[in-house]
Every structure is written in C-alpha cells, then in structure tokens.
Amino acid sequence: MNTPRKILVTSALPYANGSIHLGHMVEHIQTDVWVRFQKMRGHECYYCCADDTHGTPVMLAAQKQGLAPEDMIARVREAHLADFTGFGIGYDNYYSTHSPENKTFSEQIYRALKANGKIESRTIEQLFDPEKNMFLPDRFVKGECPKCHAPDQYGDNCEVCGTTYSPTELIKPYSAVSGATPVLKESEHFFFKLGECVDYLQQWTSGSTTLANGKVQPHLQPEALNKMNEWLQDGQLSDWDISRDAPYFGFEIPDAPGKYFYVWLDAPIGYMASFKNLCDRIGVDFDAWFQPDSNTELYHFIGKDILYFHALFWPATLQYSGHRAPTGVFAHGFLTVDGQKMSKSRGTFITAQSYLDGGLNPEWMRYYIAAKLNSKIEDIDLNLQDFISRVNSDLVGKYVNIAARAAGFIHKRFSGSLKQTADSALLAQLQAHSETIAEYYNNREYARALRDIMALADVVNEYVDANKPWELAKQEGQAERLHQVCSELINAFKILSAYLAPVLPQVAAQAAAFLNLPAFTWASSTTTLPEGHVINPYQHLMQRVEQKQVDDLIAANKQNIQAAEAAAPVQAAYEPLTPQASFDDFMKIDLRVAKVLHCEAVEGSSKLLKFQLDLGFEQRTIFSGIAASYPEPAKLIGRMVIVVANFAPRKMAKFGISEGMITSAAGEDKLFLLDVDSGAQPGMRVG
C-alpha cells in the first residue's frame, strides 16, 4: 500500500568557507536518491538546503579576500550550487542562512525560548586572543580533548570521541587565528537551558512516529540512540551557550547590542528558512508543516560528526519554541579513499569541481557511492580500482548493454515498433521485485537495492545469451521470434531503468527519451509497453571509465594543493628587526641547545621538516621550513641545534603544533642550521 505522504527533507548545510568535495557528496547523493525515490512513489516531497554562512571563519576569510562577507558568501553559494547541480542533486530550494527568513525565525525562536524560561544570561570567562584583540569562537580555539586527550581538537566538540565541551575545558589551548595562548576574559553570554530538557530528550531520542501509511519511524538509528544515551545518562546535560561577542558575522540578538547568535543556533533554523522561501514561491502553507501537531514528516540527513547538535540541541530548540520535532535524523559515516583518510598530498582529497572538470561522468560516482550505502552509521571507502571495475561491469556491461543489443534490430527490422510482451515470464520476474526494491530504497538500504537490480540485469543478460538475437536475425522464419525477444529486452531495460532512476537521474531521463516515454515513475517498474509502441533510435547512454581518467583526477588534485602551496607566502628564515631591539628585548628570548632525536619530512608539505628534540629538561616537537636545504632529514638525527625555547606554540596548518623555533641562517637561496660546539649539551642556554 502506497499511502500519500507529505515529506520535507534536508541535508546538512555546507559551510561557506570551503570547496565541495566527495565527502560532502556522500551525504547529498544519499539524500537525493531518497528524495527522488519518494517523488517517484507519488509523495509530496521537498528537498531543501542552504549554505551555512555565519561565524568568525567566514568573517576572517572575507577580510583576507578584501570582500564584504555578503559578497563572499554569494560567490561561494554560486560555486557550491554549481558543484551539487553538476552531480545531479535535485534541490527544490538551495538557499542561504544569511536571509531575511532566517533572521525572522531566529529571533522568533529565541523570544519563544526566552518566554518559556529556557534562556538566561550569565557572566562567563571566555578565551580571548591577546594578539588579535578578539574573543575566540569555539572553532578558533584548539587543544587537547579533555576526555580522550586527542590533540588538535576544536573548542566545541571532539572529532575523535564526539564529546562536546566548553573551549575553556581544552588542555593546552591555543588560538587558531594567531597561535597565541589565549587568556580568560569576562563577558555576558546567553544560554539555552538544555539541562532542563533532559526528560523530553530522553523521550524523543528513544521514541518514534507513526506515519500516514501506518509504518513506525524511529527518530534515531540504533547506533545514534546508543550514543545519545551515553550523553543523557544520569540526566546530565550542559546548558548551551548560544551567543557570541562582536566582531562576528551573523544576526544580532534582539535587545543585546554587540551580541550575536552563535552559528549553531541559526544554522539548523536555516532548514526552516529555506523551506519558507520555497513555500512563499510555490504557494505551500509553511505553518502546516512546522506546527506541533503536524501530520507531515521532517527528515535530516547528516554526518555522524554533527549528531549531537541534530539529535539533542535541535529537537529541544523546536519543542520549547512551539514547533514540531524531526520525524527522523539519519546519520552516515565518513568517506575514505583507498582505505585511508582523504589526503591532499596523495591527491585523494577530491573536489567536486575537479571531478567535473576532468570530464568524469557524475553518475559513475552516484552509482558507486549508492552501492556502498546502507542505513547504518558506517564509514564507506572509495576504492578507485573497484570504482572503475564496478561501474564498467554493472552499468556498461550489464545494464546499458541490454538496450544496445536489442534496439538496432527493432529499428532495422520492425520500424521501431514493439511487440506485445504482457505474458513474458522474464518481465514478470523483474516486476515481482518492485516492492522489495522500493522497501530497500525507503529504508536507505541502497546497497541491497542495487545488488538486487544488478542480479536482475544478470537474468536479462542470460536471456540474451540463451536467445541470441544476432543469430535469430540471420535465420529465415525467425522474424517473429526476433521481434518478441527484442521487445522483451526493451521492456526489461525499461523496468531496470525505473529501478535505477533514483540513483541515475540523467541516464534515466535519456532512457525515457529513447523509449519515447515521459519521466519514469515507480509504477513504470510494473508495466510493459503496449504492442505497436514506437521507440526512438538508440544513442549510447554511458561510456566506460578509463584508468587514465582516474589517474588524471588524482594528479589534478595533487597539482591543486601544490599550486596553493606555491602561491602561499613563504616565511623568511631571517628578517632585519625594525625597530632595533634593545638588550632588554634580547633577554626576553630564551635560546637553548637541543639534540635532534628524530627528523622527517612532513607529508603534504614541500617545505616543512618535523623535528623531535631533546632540550634536556623536556622533549618537544618543532616544525621548520628547511626541507629544501636538507633532502635527507634522517642525517640530522644526533645533531645539536639552537632553539627559541620560549617561542609561543604555533599551529602549523593541519600538521600539528610547533613548540618553539629552530634558528637558521639564510644564504645562497638556502637555509642553514646554526652549528654548536661539540661540548654543548641539550638544555644549555645560548647567549
């Protein structure tokens, strides 16, 4: 039974401070497949998304580019949408969180929470960058996770263990803006009293919704529920700081000059704003979808790293501001490439733009990713050799080949007209799988759906090999049989195309045009074309993936990062000091002798060497930009070097923290480490 449903679906909002890469595409392809399937079933289904535009990172990036934040985010949104559209992502609306609708909803929700007693102000101590003279947002403070002790974690949540915390809880914090050690400074902030929402959240996270078709939809996946129960155990949940201090790019909090909504408050409200923008444009009643007793469905597809925000903060925000909560939150894992984390140095941090610019068919990647996805929160791997072989075998060898092997005979011998196939056992076998495959799609078990579809394609190809239309065409008196066999094959191709349409929308559109049909619906998988139906001449639907295309893609992404490094300003090893330093200034510098315990090149950088040093009283890790002068870094092991021991720890891009500075001299376009007499020992002062 296919009872009509009213469904609103979102993907997590891409941040307006970076390019779209294949990791993003996993989520948006997963969402898009599900939405396209729901629409094929005849449901009223809308897919809304937007760029997440607020926060200090956007503000600083715009300043660096010499642009107003509004101008920068407009450019980024255009680029993001082009990438997603290039991969066939069919949003009903792709908007921006910097919108009048989002400002209105953010203020309304804040006022409703405040009226409901869920907002209070407190004077807090907040980390402040003394060099940049600004309070540091959570994501601009980094340090060691207070729970699992993973290094280089952001100030709001740990990407390793998933714990959320205050940035003041970080161990050995540092400013991601300047590298300086932040200081504590008082500021008034506004808090959403999440701790008072524990009972509701325990009920919601473990609950479910009965849909219009009578099926029960759990709000969370089992793995997600287990994680929420860890955070909700003993009824302990920290209140949530929803404000930030100027300077900040975002919406100012009503009646609080110089205070702004934290981006994680207005970002999910951006789902509502994008949908409201769509409703106003097409004449849909927005209120009917977000009122507390709404019989509509609301689903969020997200990555596992932002589960806490969507499964705790967001439902509580909606509940206590007088809105409906989500019907389901669907989290997925991360994408690895060839079994490893995506890497810029290896060229496997693949951007959407580089994939499209390289001329690779986006439906190859849509199919491969879908063939890896299920309803669990599991990481998936893009194995590049498997990608080539699976696409070529499944899509070209099994699926597209069916139409290619039958269409020519239909046109040459029968003027493109099909024969009656209503009694075909082959087609009945394919049609019998319609509801099973539909359930797989609906339950986000895409891998199982595609395995079934390709198994059916195998059945069809076995039918081809058993009946050999190319031989029937040569035999006298076999025209009727040839017509029958090829008509069955064309109908089999039609059924398989309908099954694959959520995953391969462009190929499905071309297949429908070839079959002289309107767009496929799910009902297309259970019907056959009538006798006398005329198909159009066949045009090739898909090429094979070539190894060179993949090799070129990896090379292009390596070149991109190398070009970025080359364009980046190189920090000089020595620059004259202006103004002149006094003796007192010099005495502030603590120069020490250190012994090189280990030295290696840094993957992803052409300039850096990573030193493990013994300073006598402790060991430290220091990065130095002298790789070009020392191509065999292992030969430096055992050498004595001079270190600025009281140099503030500094974040070196993505490579780690440099806990000091190794001194060197510049000349002849090279950098040279300073020599130390043989009698020097680690820890000795220099000067």
d(CA 137, CA 652): 19
The annotation places the binding site for ATP at 344
According to the model, what pLDDT value does residue 616 have? 76
Residue ranges of the domains in the chain? 6-106+266-353, 118-245, 385-526, 583-686
CATH fold of 6-106+266-353: Rossmann fold (3.40.50)
The annotation places the binding site at 145, 148, 158, 161, 344
Furthest C-alpha separation in the chain: 107
d(CA 515, CA 509): 10
Q: How far is CA 247 from CA 56, 60, 166, 243, 258, in A?
A: 8, 10, 20, 12, 8
The annotation places the binding site for Zn(2+) at 145, 148, 158, 161
Please enumerate in sequence order all residues whose Cβ is within 8 A of that of 123, keeping only pairs 6 or more positions apart, or say none: 186, 187, 188, 189
Select 385-526's CATH number: 3.40.50.1360, 1.10.730.10, 1.10.260.40, 3.50.50.60.
1.10.730.10
d(CA 61, CA 585): 33
Assigned architecture for domain 583-686: Beta Barrel (2.40)
Total residues found in the chain within this entry: 687
According to the model, what pLDDT value does residue 236 have? 66
CATH fold of 118-245: Methionyl-trna Synthetase; domain 2 (2.170.220)
Regions of the chain with pLDDT less than 50: 567-580
Q: How far is CA 188 from CA 54, 156, 260, 501, in A?
A: 20, 18, 12, 53
d(CA 50, CA 97): 7
| β-bridge mates for residue 190, sequence order | 121
d(CA 127, CA 316): 27
616 φψ region: left (φ > 0), alpha (ψ -120 to 50), beta (else): left
Q: What is the pLDDT of residues 638-652, one digit of tens each?
A: 899 999 888 777 777
In the block, residue with structure tokens 């469905």: 297
d(CA 663, CA 680): 16
Cβ atoms within 10 A of the Cβ of 274, count? 29
Q: How far is CA 53 from CA 74, 272, 275, in A?
A: 9, 15, 17
Q: How far is CA 282 from CA 45, 277, 285, 297, in A?
A: 13, 9, 10, 19
